[in-house]
Every structure is written in structure tokens, then in C-alpha cells.
């Protein structure tokens, strides 16, 4: 006897297309044009910030940097869906998420200048430091989400991972844990089609990355990651349902630039592919929508850009005059100071070791 015991399907959701046209039947309730305008501002701000960081790195004023250009909708849409008390665990590319959640820009620049203080994220941001090892942040996100459930808190935890990260054991272990214990975690795959030089087609034979959640027994959905409205809707619903268990969301987007400033994508990527994705630019489609609504003009764009560049330049100036305190390597490790670490700190101060 043959009896089918499982059958799954993945929905792909798009609300705003490349021309800025929307499917009104799917439009999220509570999202108005003023909120979409705010999304546009954040997306533009993230791209301006990205350009500045890239420029600083090329000038030797910042360390190796991971650009986000092309992925603004995934980051801004998901961040704006978060409630005030929700938490997020990033990888190394979630600059837009930090921006929405209110991380002071100078702290972000401190991180990219290599200072310990750049990893000390203010509590009110609700986020954790950048995490560079591939997918190692996913068990962290699962553990943090488990803690929220254990303490009976209505808090959702968003964990971000790239398409390459879904091939790591950490990813599967975190999802399996999430499914078993039904923790309030939203796992977001920022599928930008390339894991450094490895294309999505060589990363997994699965038709979608979202379906990897089936094996963990959790809800799975795929969304147009270049559609900020669709991302906002899907993540909002996942957060609202987080009290009942986790959701895996695959955001299909594209990495317009290099993996990091240590990478040269022209050596492995066809320029024609980049041009195809440029037509799907997440910012362009929102601009087209706002133009039809008489909410965007060239004058508005110029004024917005000037203000954003002013804020960025002020933050860079603060970061470049910053004087590091070696004590930060001790103070920002634990939520409290363990006795053994206090002893090391006291010994370091007594011997004035960082003065040479």
C-alpha cells in the first residue's frame, strides 16, 4: 500500500511590480502612502549610506565592507514590520535594518572602522552586533526566541541569513529547534542569488530555498524581495503569528554589487545578469508608485538626498575623531562582568599594558 503522508507547496507573493503597479487585493491593511513614502526615504538613505561606506573603504578609512545595494526592500520592509519590542539577529549586511531600528550612524561607522565600540548596540535598537561567520547567527536567534517564549514575552525574533548560509548545519539546526519548540522566530533568507562566487543554482538543488523549512515542520513562504510592500506584509503576518510558532521567509532579491570589498564579481558574473536585475530595482518601483500619487518630485529627491548626506557626513566626522578606550574589550562581552574577566581588567589597568 502507498499512502501519501506529506504534500507541500510554496507561495510566491508580489504586491508592487517593477512598474510600481500594485495588486490592491493583496495590499496590507494599515499601510498607507505616508508609510510607503517613509519606506522610500529609508531605502534611499540605506543606499546613500552604502555608497559612503564603500567610498570610505576604498580610501582606506574603513575595513572590508559588505554592500547592500539592490537588497533595500528586503531590509527596510522587514525592519518596518517589526514592533517596538521585537528583536533581530543580523549577519554582516543588514545596514538598512539597523538604520530603521535607530542605530546611531556614528556607531555603525565605528564598526566599519574596526573599533570594539561599534559592536556595542544600544538596547533600544533591539538588535545584536554584525555577525560575519556564515549562518552562525541562526542558533543565536533560535536561542533568543526560546528565551522570549520561556519568559512568556510577546516578542518576535527576526534572524537574517543569506542563500549561502542555508547550506550550513547551523541553519538546519536552528530551524529544527524552532519547529520542535514552536518558538517565536522569523527566519529571513535574504536570497541575493550569489554566495560570493557560488550562484544560487550551485548552492541548492531545491526549487526554492523556502521549502527547506518543510523538513523542520514550520510555515514557509517566498516573497519578491525587491517589493518592499510584499516584504512588509509577509513579515508583519509572520510576526503576528510568531506566538504560535516560527515562519521561514525567502526574500528573492539580488546583490547588485560585490559580496564584499575584497571581492570582484566581474570575474565570475555575467554583466547581462546584472542588467536584468537592474530593471527590478526596489527603489525605482517605489519611486514610480509615489510619482503617480504626486508624492515624489525631483525637488523632493534633491532635498531628501542633501539631508541624508548631511547626517552621514556628520556621523563620519564623529567616528573619525573617536578615541577608543581599550577597556571596551572587557566591558562589552557579557551582560555582567564575570569575576575572571574583572581580574583580567584589573590586572591590565594596574600594569597599564595598552600604553606599551
Q: How far apart are CA 23 and CA 28, in angstroms?
A: 10
Any idea how long the chain is? 356
Q: Are residues 329 and 313 in the same domain?
A: no
Q: Are residues 145 and 214 in the same domain?
A: yes
Q: Are residues 104 and 190 in the same domain?
A: yes
Q: Given a cut of 60, is residue 356 above it in pLDDT? A: no
**Average pLDDT value for residue range 135-144:** 98
Residue 102 is given by DSSP the state T
CATH number of the domain where residue 93 is located: 3.40.50.970
**Average pLDDT value for residue range 39-65:** 98
pLDDT the model gives residue 63: 96
Predicted confidence band of residue 331 (pLDDT cuts 50, 70, 90)? confident
Q: Are residues 316 and 332 in the same domain?
A: no
Q: Are residues 66 and 194 in the same domain?
A: yes
Q: Give catalytic residue positions.
A: 255, 259, 268
Q: Is residue 58 part of a domain?
A: yes
**Average pLDDT value for residue range 290-307:** 98
Q: Are residues 202 and 349 in the same domain?
A: no
Q: Are residues 245 and 99 in the same domain?
A: yes
Digit-coded pLDDT (tens) for 201-252: 999 999 999 999 999 999 999 999 999 999 999 999 999 999 999 999 999 9
Q: Is residue 4 part of a domain?
A: no
Q: Which candidate, 221, 217, 219, places its Cα nearest to that of 208? A: 221
Q: Are residues 249 and 344 in the same domain?
A: no
Q: Are residues 94 and 216 in the same domain?
A: yes
How many structural domains does the chain have? 2
Q: Is residue 1 part of a domain?
A: no
Q: Is residue 164 part of a domain?
A: yes
Predicted confidence band of residue 355 (pLDDT cuts 50, 70, 90)? low
Q: How far apart are CA 68 and CA 86, in angstroms?
A: 23
Q: Is residue 5 part of a domain?
A: no
Q: How far apart are CA 352 and CA 356, in angstroms?
A: 8
Contact 330, 337 (CB under 8 A): yes
**Average pLDDT value for residue range 256-283:** 97
Q: Is residue 7 part of a domain?
A: no
Domain that holds residue 76: 12-321
Q: How is residue 262 written as a grid cell?
A: 575584497
Q: Are residues 314 and 202 in the same domain?
A: yes
Q: Are residues 115 and 34 in the same domain?
A: yes
**Average pLDDT value for residue range 56-79:** 98
Contact 177, 210 (CB under 8 A): no
Q: Are residues 81 and 112 in the same domain?
A: yes
Greatest CA separation found in the chain? 77
Q: Is residue 3 part of a domain?
A: no
Contact 227, 15 (CB under 8 A): yes
Contact 239, 178 (CB under 8 A): no
Amino acid at each position: 500500500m502507498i499512502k501519501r503522508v506529506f504534500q507541500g507547496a510554496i507561495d510566491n507573493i508580489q504586491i508592487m511590480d517593477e512598474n510600481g503597479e500594485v495588486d490592491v487585493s493583496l495590499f496590507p491593511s494599515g499601510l498607507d502612502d505616508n508609510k510607503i513614502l517613509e519606506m522610500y526615504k529609508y531605502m534611499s538613505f540605506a543606499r546613500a549610506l552604502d555608497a559612503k561606506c564603500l567610498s570610505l573603504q576604498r580610501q582606506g578609512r574603513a575595513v572590508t565592507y559588505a554592500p547592500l545595494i539592490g537588497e533595500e526592500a528586503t531590509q527596510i520592509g522587514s525592519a518596518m514590520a517589526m514592533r517596538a519590542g521585537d528583536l533581530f539577529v543580523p549577519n554582516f549586511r543588514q545596514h538598512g535594518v539597523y538604520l530603521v531600528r535607530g542605530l546611531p550612524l556614528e556607531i555603525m561607522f565605528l564598526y566599519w572602522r574596526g573599533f570594539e565600540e561599534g559592536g556595542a548596540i544600544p538596547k533600544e535598537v533591539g538588535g545584536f552586533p554584525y555577525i560575519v561567520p556564515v549562518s552562525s547567527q541562526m542558533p543565536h536567534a533560535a536561542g533568543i526566541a526560546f528565551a522570549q517564549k520561556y519568559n512568556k514575552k510577546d516578542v518576535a525574533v527576526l534572524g537574517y541569513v543569506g542563500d549561502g548560509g542555508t547550506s550550513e548545519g547551523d541553519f538546519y539546526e536552528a530551524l529544527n529547534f524552532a519547529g520542535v519548540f514552536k518558538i517565536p522566530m522569523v527566519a529571513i533568507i535574504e536570497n541575493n542569488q550569489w554566495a560570493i562566487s557560488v550562484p544560487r543554482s550551485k548552492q541548492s538543488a531545491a526549487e526554492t530555498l523556502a521549502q527547506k523549512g518543510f523538513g523542520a515542520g514550520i510555515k514557509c513562504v517566498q516573497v519578491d524581495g525587491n517589493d518592499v510592500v510584499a516584504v512588509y506584509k509577509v513579515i508583519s503576518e509572520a510576526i503576528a503569528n510568531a506566538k504560535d510558532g516560527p515562519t521561514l521567509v525567502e526574500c528573492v532579491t539580488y546583490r547588485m554589487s560585490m559580496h564584499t570589498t575584497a571581492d570582484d564579481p566581474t570575474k565570475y558574473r555575467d554583466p547581462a545578469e546584472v542588467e536584468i536585475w537592474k530593471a527590478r530595482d526596489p527603489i525605482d518601483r517605489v519611486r514610480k508608485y509615489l510619482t503617480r500619487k504626486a508624492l515624489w518630485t525631483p525637488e523632493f529627491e534633491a532635498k531628501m538626498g542633501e539631508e541624508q548626506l548631511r547626517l552621514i557626513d556628520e556621523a563620519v566626522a564623529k567616528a573619525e575623531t573617536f578615541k577608543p578606550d581599550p577597556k571596551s574589550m572587557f566591558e562589552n562581552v557579557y551582560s555582567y562582568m564575570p569575576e575572571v574577566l574583572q581580574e583580567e581588567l584589573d590586572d591590565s589597568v594596574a600594569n597599564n599594558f595598552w600604553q606599551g
